[in-house]
């Protein structure tokens, strides 16, 4: 069997820490044919580090030789690169978020449908062992109908001081579009991606615009800080469920906190750590799993799913319409803040 030929576009931190190492573990089925980056010197370094044969000087050259492409660029370029790759006949795995706007997401989906190629987005939290176990519990309807969802993606003083994370033009936003998108995507997936009907949100960045910040993840310019470092939102869904969202890179809290908590009409589910809460026999119970089938690395499981999808062996764990919904909600949260009102979807 011939190997699936994959090219990497963008060789920043996420490419070298997650995508390339994961794909190299699939060497029996995958060949990384080369890398492309606007910084050719950096591309050569990564090519040498991982013993990748070719450094392409244009994306078009890469697309001509690849069966599939992994996009690891700033958010601004996701859509244009994905569309070009799809039109060239390549399957696409794009880093999250899907794109900067829902309009761009729709253009990507249209291109994928026209090319009859696979398109997925790297929401790797779905591949965590707790997430996979929680999905089984939700599919079995063990907590009944989901009613209220609480989502927290909170870091204590950890604004990324590297890359372009605080550049609004290149990223489209800050803590919400970069970090909160993962927990938002996971929670929506667990409750079956019901249609959102109304979104209200508020964004903050006063803390990161204050001089002399204490920040664990490197230095950044408070004067040039353009994006959100803290966000709150309230979502209503067509089925009557609601979701409370809080996201931060730099919260003044005791410690980092990741929460997905779902209250249903027959029980409740906490994902991190995995617990099920319910009432029975006139008593209140909290059950936890003593053992969950291990996941070696969510990034590897994500890569394996993408490869299997490209080879028509299984369905994508992250579907394009689900990734689109995440982007629509993020866009609406930002719009709600700007217009100081709830946004009807």
Output the domain CATH number for residue 205.
3.30.360.10
Token couple for 6? 């994959």
* CB-facing half-sphere around the CA of 238: CA atoms within 13 A: 7
Q: What is the pTM of this model?
A: 0.97
Q: Taking a C-beta distance cutoff of 8 angstroms, is the pair 23, 73 a contact?
A: no
Domains held by the chain: number: 2
Helix ranges (H only) for the chain are: 13-14, 20-24, 40-49, 59-65, 78-87, 102-115, 129-139, 168-171, 175, 181-190, 298-310, 320-339
**Where a domain ends, among 70, 96, 122?**
122
Claim to verify: residue 16 and residue 148 sit in the same structural domain: no
Does 31 map to a domain? yes
Q: Give the angle 84-86-88 at the CA atoms, nearest 5°.
A: 70
Helix 78-87, helix 102-115: angle, nearest 10: 10
Does 38 map to a domain? yes
Does 211 map to a domain? yes
pLDDT value of position 143 = 98
pLDDT value of position 128 = 98
Q: Over its length of 345 residues, how does the chain's per-residue pLDDT go in tens digits? A: 689 999 999 999 999 999 999 999 999 999 999 999 999 999 999 999 999 999 999 999 999 999 999 999 999 999 999 999 999 999 999 999 999 999 999 999 999 999 999 999 999 999 999 999 999 999 999 999 999 999 999 999 999 999 999 999 999 999 999 999 999 999 999 999 999 999 999 999 999 999 999 999 999 999 999 999 999 999 999 999 999 999 999 999 999 999 999 999 999 999 999 999 999 999 999 999 999 998 889 999 999 999 999 999 999 999 999 999 999 999 999 999 999 999 999
**Where a domain ends, among 122, 147, 180?**
122
pLDDT value of position 161 = 95
Claim to verify: residue 37 and residue 165 sit in the same structural domain: no
pLDDT value of position 1 = 64
Does 302 map to a domain? no
**Where a domain ends, among 87, 122, 157?**
122
DSSP labels for 221-238? -STT--S-SEEEEEEEET
Does 88 map to a domain? yes
Q: Structural domain of residue 244, as residue ranges?
A: 126-294+326-344
Claim to verify: residue 254 and residue 337 sit in the same structural domain: yes
Claim to verify: residue 180 and residue 286 sit in the same structural domain: yes
Claim to verify: residue 12 and residue 65 sit in the same structural domain: yes
């Amino acid at each position: 069997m011939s190997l699936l030929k994959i090219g990497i576009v963008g060789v920043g931190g996420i490419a070298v820490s997650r995508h390339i190492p994961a794909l190299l573990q699939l060497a029996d089925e995958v060949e990384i044919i080369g890398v492309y980056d606007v910084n050719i010197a950096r591309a050569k370094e990564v090519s040498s580090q991982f013993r990748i044969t070719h450094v392409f000087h244009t994306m078009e050259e890469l697309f001509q030789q690849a069966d599939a492409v992994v996009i690891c660029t700033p958010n601004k370029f996701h859509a244009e690169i994905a569309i070009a790759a799809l039109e060239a006949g390549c399957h696409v795995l794009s880093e999250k978020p899907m794109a900067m706007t829902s309009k761009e997401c729709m253009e990507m989906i249209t291109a994928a449908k026209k090319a009859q190629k696979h398109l997925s987005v790297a929401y790797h939290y779905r591949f965590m062992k707790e997430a996979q176990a929680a999905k089984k519990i939700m599919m079995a309807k063990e907590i009944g109908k989901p009613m209220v969802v609480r989502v927290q993606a909170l870091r204590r003083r950890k604004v990324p001081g590297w890359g372009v994370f605080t550049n609004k033009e290149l990223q489209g936003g800050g803590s919400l579009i970069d970090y909160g998108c993962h927990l938002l995507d996971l929670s929506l997936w667990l409750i079956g991606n019901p249609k959102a009907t109304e979104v209200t949100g508020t964004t903050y960045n006063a803390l990161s615009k204050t001089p002399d910040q204490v920040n664990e993840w490197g230095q950044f310019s408070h004067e040039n800080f353009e994006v959100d470092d803290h966000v709150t939102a309230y979502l209503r869904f067509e089925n009557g469920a609601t979701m409370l969202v809080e996201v931060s890179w730099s919260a003044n809290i005791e410690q980092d906190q990741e929460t997905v908590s779902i209250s249903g009409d027959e029980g409740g589910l906490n994902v991190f750590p995995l617990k099920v809460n319910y009432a029975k026999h006139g008593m209140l119970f909290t059950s936890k799993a003593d053992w969950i089938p291990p996941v070696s690395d969510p990034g590897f499981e994500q890569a394996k799913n993408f490869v299997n999808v490209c080879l028509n062996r299984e369905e994508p764990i992250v579907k394009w319409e689900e990734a689109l919904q995440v982007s629509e909600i993020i866009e609406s949260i930002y719009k709600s803040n700007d217009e100081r009102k709830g946004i009807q979807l």
